[in-house]
Amino acid sequence: MVKTVRPIGIFDSGIGGLSVAAAIRELLPDEPLLYVGDSAHVPYGGHDDVFIRTRAETLADFLVDRDSKAIVIACNTATAAAAARLRERFEIPVVGMEPAVKPAAAATRSGIVGVLATAGTLASARFAGLLDRFGDGVEVLTEPCPDLVDLVERGVLTGEEAQHRVSAHVEPLVGSGADTLILGCTHFPFLRRLIERAAGPDIRVIDTGTAVARQLRRQLADDELAAGKCGGLQLFTSGDPEDFSLVARRLWKDAPDAASLD
């Protein structure tokens, strides 16, 4: 009997979570990935927790119905609003995101850290808890950036518009003394070159995609769920599949066509 290889399920408010999927692909190249972007409701930062939790449960149900062996919440805002609920509901591993406050606090030389994120993430109890646990002795400056999410959703990763918008968020943080910047949204690694250009060569930029991939690998090993040998990527979206597919191919070489979530 041929054993069915179960996919890793990943969801985000939109297309930005592909940055996390890429980190997972690099660390676990043989694992099949099933990705859902909730593009009809992006960004989550503009919605309340009840709405986000409801959407997260809908997307997780979709992934579980397709026999996912683990769920990765590739969205800081959705993790804050829904991770606990999903872990209560499902027996499979649920791996979430959180802004990299701990490594940033350890890395800063000036004692000032800047966080680029959505308003929902910055206002969450989860983020406040991270500051309480790891932010002692460090000044943390926050910068909500919903317009940067919009850039990535449109596939605008270069050019004058993108650089202008990125610089408008990054330069005030650096000007206030931040020497370490946290990418607190999974969309933002796709703008990393522009962020680093605006910040300058002496500023460290940290994201959490690789850390999430490592945590996923540990959980799969702990639960004896690691499979492999087939790879592959499937894309679904609650938005327009054609638009989603077009942008996905700008972010992920050879990305397949996306299918409608409905």
In the residue annotation, 230 being an active-site residue is answered as: no
Which residue among 152, 170, 185, 212 is the active-site one?
A: 185
Which residue among 36, 60, 70, 75 is the active-site one?
A: 75
In the residue annotation, 185 being an active-site residue is answered as: yes
Residues 6+ apart with CB under 8 A from 66: 7, 9, 34
Q: With contact defined as beta carbons under 8 Å apart, do 52 and 78 qualify? A: yes
Residues 6+ apart with CB under 8 A from 151: 157, 161, 162, 165, 187, 191
Instruction: Using CA atoms of 68, 35, 189, 161 in order, give the dihedral in degrees to the nearest 10.
Output: -160
Q: With contact defined as beta carbons under 8 Å apart, do 53 and 85 qualify? A: yes
DSSP string, 219-247: HHHHTT----S---EEEEESS-HHHHHHH
Q: Which residue numbers are catalytic?
A: 75, 185
